[in-house]
């Protein structure tokens, strides 16, 4: 088994902030917009370095998306920043018409995704955003796993021309992606080779998947681990090949099982290589207040749950 | 009506509840909560005609909607101390499996709450809808609501404000917590609100302005004046100037405590400034 070192827990939103700071220095076309959450989105440094390219729009997310769409006309590359809920559900039609349908080069950057934002509770914990965004034709949907990957993705989406939804979060999670790894949109990362079960994970559940693979290894089960940072376009080949090899799949994500990565994988396999699949995801519920660790336990979004689902998937072969 | 002393004691205890709730979970929003302690206390203790025997439909009673849901600590404290649910339950604020979610919700069935809020800018429409239903039902009771000033940057407010004004929905008394602050700083630096009184008046609202929204007598007068204006074919706005973090010296004159909990030392100092009156939970 390959070993992955956690170089220290860090929040993925800070990876975004670091990427944006770098973009500010290297790409004069990058502009940033924020809706009264500059600190939470880690956009302060960009704001301090480039006050002329930073737009504080106030608590007005719909206006922010419209402004961003307009700013692309003439060549700017706008990065919008707010919480995931207010980046998607709040402004769905603005994104749909002014960004996706109009094919605008807007980067919608969303922090505090999922239940692990913790105590603020369900009003702020969107578990439906990946589904909302992946249903929009032409939208690229990225959900990064750690600080380093989030930073690399931030740089990569600036270089890519087209609408992007970039999702990250609030809690400090394991940082294990090599610092200099380039981010290839749409290309799955093969983290562990295995023969008994494929664990296909996204976001910080990738680290949980690696932990689960260790536990499974101790139990004599060989688990393959694939890091899907890009939900759309999905690396179908990587998924199909792995499923062919192992014969069963567990998907893992901090999202509702309706509309998330799991469904995209299930659709891919149903078409190309029907395979038993188990889902580590929330089960069509809203979230609630609690600490991130308590919530991951209660909603079954951790390594323990991945192990259980892996054993179940294997039993269904 | 309670005496001013009784109400002051109530407010002091509410402040303690706010501080202790957010401290216990090291999260939540003390700033706006403290700034609205007097508003909630006067509203629930003296102004609203409402039953603590909670019923969702709230027919033949006054209703209240909190649009700026992040100031849940003050809402929970006043609801509990007004008899909607046991005061001890404040101990569960923001903890797993609680009815006292970070932002108010109907999902867990907490008595007193009629709509979820937290995602800003939606409460004006909801309050307006409830006011329209009261009219359809021939129910002459009033609908009250509270909104942050930064929250008014959300466009949906102005859709509701336009509707309420142009349809003369005159059983609605909305209040704006005009503390001139929000997360990223002063509203004037983030996105200036301009002349709010003129804006509401231009949308055909009656405006009652309270210079000191943390003064109980001024609030009492404002509510009295607002109530005297209902039924005049115009919705009523109380433009309530407040001090974010009011009652705790180091939390005032700054936006820093919008969404930050005090540490142990800070809590001790804050509580010393607000000695126990009605008994801590
Ligand atoms: C739609 C939406 N956007 C952003 C936020 C994040 N947020 C929570 S409170 C707040 C500031 C609110 O300012 P104000 O209404 O003035 O309340 P105060 O800070 O005075 O309590 C923001 C931006 C949110 N809750 N909802
Ligand atoms: Mg304010």
Q: How many Å apart are CA B138 and CA A175, to the nearest integer?
A: 61
Is residue B277 in some structural domain? no
**pLDDT above 80: residue B2:** no
**φ, ψ at B10 (rounded to 5°):** -60, -50
- In the DSSP assignment, the letter for residue A278 is E
Whether residue A156 has pLDDT greater than 80: yes
The strand pairing partners of A251, in sequence order, are: A200, A279
Alpha-carbon torsion, ordered B48, B50, B54, B60, to 10 deg? -130
| Confidence check: pLDDT of A120 > 90 | yes
Residue A47 lies in a domain: yes
- Residues B84 and B50 sit within 8 Å (Cβ to Cβ): no
**Residues A42, A152 share a domain:** yes
The number of distinct structural domains making up chain A is 2
Taking CB atoms and an 8 Å cutoff, what residues of chain A touch B113? none
Domain containing A254 — which CATH number?
3.40.50.920
Residue showing tokens 């290839």: A184
pLDDT over 70, % of chain B: 100
Residues near ion ligand 2 (CB < 5 Å) are: B 148-150, 179, 181-182
pLDDT digit string, tens, across residues B28-80: 999 999 999 999 999 999 999 999 999 999 999 999 999 999 999 999 999 99
> For tokens 């003369």, what's the residue?
B168
Which residues form the domain of B59?
A: 4-272
Which residues on B lie below 8 Å from A93 (Cβ)?
A: none
| Probe target for ligand 1 pocket from B71, B120, B193, with the most ligand atoms within 8 Å of CB | B120
Q: Which ligand is nearest to the CA of A58?
A: 1
Which of B94, B105, B153 comes nearest A123 by C-beta? B105
Residue A34, pLDDT above cutoff 60: yes
**Residue range B208-226, pLDDT digits in tens:** 999 999 999 999 999 999 9
**Does A199 lie in the same domain as A109?**
no
A38 CB near a chain B CB, below 8 Å?
yes
Which residues 6+ apart lie within 8 Å of B129 measured at CB? Answer: none
Chain-centre distance of CA A145, in angstroms?
Answer: 7
A103 in the same domain as A164: yes
- Whether A91 is in a domain gets the answer yes
Contacts of residue B142, Cβ cutoff 8 Å, sequence gap at least 6: B62, B63, B134, B171, B172, B173, B227, B230
Phi and psi, residue B146, nearest 5°? -130, 140
Q: Which of B94, B107, B121 sits opposite A59 (nearest CB)?
A: B121
Q: Are residues A212 and A101 in the same domain?
A: no
pLDDT attached to residue B211? 98
Residues of B in contact with A286 (CB under 8 A): 107
Burial status of residue A266 (CB atoms within 10 A of its CB: 0-12, 13-18, 19 or more): middle
Rounded Cα gap, residues B176 and B182, in angstroms: 13
CATH number at residue A104: 3.40.50.970
Asked if pLDDT for residue A280 goes beyond 70, the answer is yes
Half-sphere exposure of A267 (CA within 13 A, CB side): 12
Q: Number of folded domains in chain B?
A: 1
On whether both A61 and A24 belong to a single domain, the answer is yes
Tell me, using a 6 A CB cutoff, whether residue B148 lines ligand 1. yes
Residue A34, token pair as written in the block:
């924020």
The residue out of A173, A205, A235 marking a domain boundary is A173
Q: How many CB atoms lie within 10 A of CB A92?
A: 18
CATH at residue B181 = 3.40.50.970
B280 found inside a domain: no
Q: Is the CB of A112 inside a 6 Å radius of any atom of ligand 1?
A: no
Nearest CA in chain B to A38: B184
Instruction: Please tell me the distance from the alpha carbon of residue B37 to that of residue B90, in angstroms, as a whole number.
Output: 16
Please give the share of chain A, as a percent, with pLDDT higher than 90: 100
Q: Are A130 and A259 in contact (CB under 8 A)?
A: yes
pLDDT per position as a tens digit, A207-262: 999 999 999 999 999 999 999 999 999 999 999 999 999 999 999 999 999 999 99
B25 touches chain A (CB under 8 A): yes
Whether residue A131 sits in one domain with residue A102: yes
- The answer to whether residue A25 is domain-embedded is yes
Q: In which domain, by residue range, is A93 found? A: 10-173
Cα angle B20, B23, B27 (rounded to 5 degrees) comes to 125
Ligand 1: which atom is nearest the Cα of residue B68? 15
Q: Which residue of B has its CA nearest to A39?
A: B184
Ligand 1 probe mutation, A35, A36, A56, A62, most atoms within 8 A of CB: A36
pLDDT at position A199 is: 99
**List of chain B residues whose C-beta atoms are within 8 Å of the C-beta of residue A291:** 96
**Is residue B281 in some structural domain?**
no
Closest CA–CA distance from residue A113 to any residue of chain B (Å) = 14
Q: Is B199 exposed, middle or buried (0-12, 13-18, 19+ CB in 10 A)?
A: middle
The 3-state DSSP class for residue A316 equals coil
Q: In this model, does residue B151 exceed pLDDT 90?
A: yes
B124 belongs to a structural domain: yes
The DSSP line for B49-73 is ---SS--TT-TTS-EEEESSGGGHH
Measured from the Cα of B71, ligand 1's closest atom is 21
Residues A200 and A307 in one domain: yes
| B151: closest CA of chain A, how far (Å) | 6
Asked if residue B245 belongs to a domain, the reply is: yes
Mean pLDDT value of segment A134-152: 98
A169 and A197 both lie in a single domain: no
pLDDT tens per residue across span A103-119: 999 999 999 999 999 99
Q: How confident is the model at residue B1 (pLDDT cuts 50, 70, 90)?
A: low
- The span from the first CA to the last CA of chain B, in angstroms, equals 24
Q: Sign of the CA dihedral B154, A58, B247, B253?
A: negative
For the cut 60, the answer to whether the pLDDT of residue A16 exceeds it is yes
Give CA–CA dist A116/A12, Å, rounded.
12
- Cβ B120 under 6 angstroms from ligand 1: yes
**Whether this model's pTM surpasses 0.95:** yes
Chain position carrying tokens 């336990």: A297
Other beta carbons less than 10 A from residue B273's beta carbon = 15
Indicate which ligand has the atom closest to the C-alpha of B257.
1
Q: In angstroms, what CA-CA distances link A189 with A206, A277, A303, B108, B260?
A: 10, 20, 19, 41, 38
Inside any domain, residue A202: yes
Q: Is residue A85 within 8 angstroms of chain B, CB to CB? A: yes
**In this complex, is the C-beta atom of B94 within 8 Å of any C-beta atom belonging to chain A?**
yes
What are B257-271's pLDDT values in tens digits?
A: 999 999 999 999 999
Pairing of strands B185-186, A223-227: unpaired
Nearest-angstrom CA–CA distance, A196 and A317: 10
By the 10 Å C-beta count (0-12 exposed, 13-18 middle, 19+ buried), A100 is classed as buried
Chain-wide mean pLDDT for chain A?
98
> Any CB–CB contact under 8 A between B120 and chain A?
yes
Q: What is the DSSP letter of A183?
A: P
State residue B245's pLDDT score. 98
**CA separation for the pair A126, B193 (Å, rounded):** 29
Number of H helices, E strands in chain B: 10, 7
What are the tokens at A111?
């922090």
Pair (A106, A219) in one structural domain: no
Q: Are A164 and A200 found together in one domain?
A: no
How large is the angle between the packed helices A12-26 and A147-159, nearest 10 degrees? 40
Last residue of a domain, one of A173, A202, A222: A173
Interface membership of B103 toward A (CB under 8 Å): yes
| Both tokens assigned to B109 | 């069935």
My answer on whether A132 and A232 are in the same domain is no
Strand, coil or helix: what is A126? coil
- What is residue B99's three-state secondary structure? coil
State in Å: Cα B124 to ligand 1 middle: 15
CA distance B215 to chain A (A): 28
* Residue B225 distance to chain A (closest CA, Å): 31
CB contacts, 8 Å: B193 with chain A: none
Same domain, A52 and A156: yes
Q: Is the CB of residue A135 less than 8 Å away from at least one CB of chain B?
A: no
Is B98 in a helix, a strand, or coil? Answer: coil
Show which of A139, A173, A207 is a domain's final residue.
A173
Quote the crossing angle between the two packed helices A205-218 and A303-315, to the nearest 10°: 60
Strands annotated E in chain A: 10-11, 30-34, 54-56, 77-83, 107-111, 140-143, 164-167, 172-173, 189-192, 197-201, 223-227, 230-232, 249-256, 277-282
């Amino acid at each position: 088994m390959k070993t992955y070192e956690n170089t220290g827990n860090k929040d993925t939103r800070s990876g975004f902030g670091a990427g944006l700071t770098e973009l500010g220095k290297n790409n004069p076309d990058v502009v940033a917009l924020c809706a009264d959450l500059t600190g939470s989105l880690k956009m302060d440094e960009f704001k301090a370095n480039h006050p002329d390219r930073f737009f504080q729009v106030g608590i007005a997310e719909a206006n922010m998306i419209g402004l961003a769409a307009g700013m692309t006309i003439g060549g700017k590359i706008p990065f919008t920043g707010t919480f995931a809920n207010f980046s998607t559900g709040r402004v769905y039609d603005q994104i749909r018409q002014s960004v996706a349908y109009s094919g605008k080069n807007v980067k919608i950057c969303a922090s505090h995704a999922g239940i692990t934002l913790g105590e603020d509770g369900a009003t702020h914990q969107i578990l439906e955003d990946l589904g909302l965004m992946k249903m929009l034709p032409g939208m690229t949907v990225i959900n990064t796993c750690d600080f380093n990957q989030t930073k690399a993705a931030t740089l990569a989406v600036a270089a890519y021309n087209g609408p992007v939804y970039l999702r990250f979060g609030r809690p400090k999670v394991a940082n294990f992606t090599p610092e200099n790894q380039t981010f290839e949109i749409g290309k799955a990362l093969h983290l562990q080779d295995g023969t008994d079960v494929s664990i296909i994970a996204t976001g910080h559940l990738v680290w949980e998947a690696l932990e689960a693979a260790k536990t499974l290894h101790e139990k004599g089960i060989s688990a393959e681990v694939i890091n899907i940072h890009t939900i759309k376009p999905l690396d179908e080949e990587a998924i199909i090949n792995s499923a062919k090899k192992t014969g069963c799949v567990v998907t893992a994500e901090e999202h509702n099982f309706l509309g998330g990565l799991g469904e995209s994988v299930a659709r891919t396999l149903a078409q190309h290589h029907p395979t038993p699949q188990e889902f580590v995801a929330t089960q069509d519920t809203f979230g609630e207040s609690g600490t991130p660790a308590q919530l991951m336990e209660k909603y079954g979004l951790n390594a323990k749950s991945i192990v259980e689902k892996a054993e179940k998937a294997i039993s269904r072969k | 009506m309670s005496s001013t002393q009784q109400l002051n004691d109530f407010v002091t205890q509410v402040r303690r509840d706010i501080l202790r709730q957010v401290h216990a979970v090291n999260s939540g929003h003390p700033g706006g909560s403290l700034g609205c302690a007097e508003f909630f206390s006067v509203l629930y203790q003296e102004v609203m005609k409402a039953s603590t025997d909670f019923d969702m439909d709230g027919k033949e009673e006054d209703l209240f909607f909190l649009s700026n849901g992040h100031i849940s600590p003050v809402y929970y404290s006043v609801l509990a101390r007004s008899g909607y649910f046991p005061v001890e339950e404040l101990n569960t604020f923001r903890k797993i499996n609680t009815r006292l979610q970070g932002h108010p919700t109907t999902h867990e069935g907490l008595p007193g709450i009629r709509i979820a809020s937290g995602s800003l800018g939606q409460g004006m429409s909801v309050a307006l809808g409830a006011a329209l239903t009261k009219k359809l039902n021939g129910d002459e009771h009033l609908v009250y609501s509270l909104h942050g000033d930064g929250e008014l940057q959300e466009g949906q407010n102005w859709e509701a404000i336009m509707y309420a004004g142009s349809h003369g929905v005159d059983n609605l008394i909305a209040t704006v917590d005009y503390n001139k602050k929000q997360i990223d700083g002063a509203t004037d630096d983030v996105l200036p609100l301009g002349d709010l009184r003129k804006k509401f008046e231009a949308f055909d609202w009656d405006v009652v302005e309270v210079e000191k929204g943390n003064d109980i007598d001024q609030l009492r007068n404002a509510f009295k004046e607002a109530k005297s204006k209902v039924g005049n074919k115009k919705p009523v706005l109380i433009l309530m100037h407040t001090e974010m973090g009011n009652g705790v010296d180091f939390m005032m004159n700054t936006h820093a405590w919008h969404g930050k909990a005090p540490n142990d030392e800070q809590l001790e100092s804050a509580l010393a400034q607000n000695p126990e009156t009605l008994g801590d939970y």
